[in-house]
Chain A
Amino acid sequence: AQTVTQSQPEMSVQEAETVTLSCTYDTSESDYYLFWYKQPPSRQMILVIRQEAYKQQNATENRFSVNFQKAAKSFSLKISDSQLGDAAMYFCAYRPTYSGAGSYQLTFGKGTKLSVIP
């Protein structure tokens, strides 16, 4: 079974600084997707960024970028120029590209709570 581990339950960053959230995963698949979701106090789950395992280039979305290390099964999220609105729970998630069982649910890590200090 696939597992996703986020080893940092809480982190903090000064406004305008850069922070990196860690995520490791375990899978025997070679094709899969990895995601970072943001959950602010409003509790809405918001997709931040997505990475396809067959793509070597790291995904980037404005101030958010990932460092995808397939061999190490590592998928970290870097937030640059942190803003107060970035304060939230961040979840790393995995799903296989192909599933013999026909289901493509996400497997989530337990999350990292990010605080942004003004």
Chain B
Amino acid sequence: DSGVTQTPKHLITATGQRVTLRCSPRSGDLSVYWYQQSLDQGLQFLIQYYNGEERAKGNILERFSAQQFPDLHSELNLSSLELGDSALYFCASTKDPTGASSAGYTFGSGTRLTVV
């Protein structure tokens, strides 16, 4: 157990629907990163939050949004889902926004999203 908890582990939904993925960072970590892993694109950075505030955006679609709550857990909202959104979604946490104080990033086990 890495200490980063992602729920649910698996999610199957239909096109056009909306889903919410949840991430609880490791205890003491303030920064959360979301990544999308697909077969053709590999691991792509989506968005980062630090202590409740958005820090950076990567290749995140406008249909996707995220937030980090006062208890530091984060949610990734995916709406108007398309077949191409099927992927593994990871979150990772670090103690500070740079990640320099840790041995790297601690990843959760991911949420497997299947859009049918």
Chain A: interface secondary structure? loop
**A-side contacts of B92, CB under 8 Å:** 45, 106
Chain B contact residue count (CB 8 A cutoff): 25
Q: Is A102's beta carbon under 8 Å from chain B?
A: yes
Q: Is B18's beta carbon under 8 Å from chain A?
A: no
- Distance in angstroms from A71 CB to nearest chain B CB is 24
* Docked pose: A103 CA to B2 CA in angstroms: 23
Contact A107 B104 (CB under 8 A): no
**A-side contacts of B105, CB under 8 Å:** 47, 106
**B-side contacts of A50, CB under 8 Å:** 103-104
**A-side contacts of B107, CB under 8 Å:** 37, 44-46
Partner of B88, one of A37, A43, A105, A107: A43
Contact A47 B110 (CB under 8 A): no
Partner of B33, one of A99, A101, A105: A105
Classify chain A: how many residues form its interface, as a range.
20 to 34
* Docked pose: A37 CA to B92 CA in angstroms: 13
Interface string of A53-87 (1 = CB under 8 A from B): 00000000000000000000000000000000000
**B-side contacts of A95, CB under 8 Å:** 99
Contact B88 A102 (CB under 8 A): no
Residue contacts A-B, CB under 8 angstroms, 13 given: A43-B109, A44-B2, A44-B109, A45-B110, A47-B104, A102-B56, A104-B48, A104-B97, A105-B58, A106-B33, A106-B43, A106-B92, A106-B105
Other than the known A45-B90, A104-B99, what 6 A-B pairs have Cβ atoms closer than 8 Å?
A43-B109, A50-B103, A99-B98, A105-B58, A108-B42, A108-B43
Closest 10 CB pairs between A and B?
A103-B56, A45-B107, A108-B43, A47-B104, A110-B42, A105-B45, A104-B98, A44-B109, A104-B99, A103-B55
Q: Which residues of A contact B (CB under 8 A)?
A: 33, 35, 37, 42-47, 50, 91, 95, 97, 99, 101-111
